[in-house]
Amino acid sequence: MKELIEEARRELAMRRRFYPKWVRAGRIKQQDADRRIDLMEAIVRRLTRTAGV
């Protein structure tokens, strides 16, 4: 479970770092970027809660 949480956090950090650049480049819409970041945040919260961390 710890590895799942770490990987989800890593993915969340990558999305926060790259999505703004992708939005500016037209690769992804802002609404989609926001939604995907929100979803990954929810995954991290759920995994953390489930693990009791």
Q: Which two tokens stand for residue 25?
A: 């480049």
Rounded to whole angstroms, what are the CA distances from 27 to 14, 16, 19, 38, 48? 15, 15, 9, 18, 31
Q: Which two tokens stand for residue 14?
A: 């990558």
What's residue 24's pLDDT? Answer: 98
Give the percent of the chain with pLDDT over 90: 96
| Full 3-state SS string of 38-49 | HHHHHHHHHHHH
- pTM, whole model, 2 decimals? 0.90
- What is the domain extent for residue 21? 2-51
pLDDT for 23-46, tens place per residue?
Answer: 999 999 999 999 999 999 999 999
How many independent structural domains does the chain possess? 1
Q: Which helix or strand (DSSP H or E) is residue 21 part of?
A: helix 2-25
Mean pLDDT of all residues in 12-16? 98
What's residue 6's pLDDT? Answer: 97
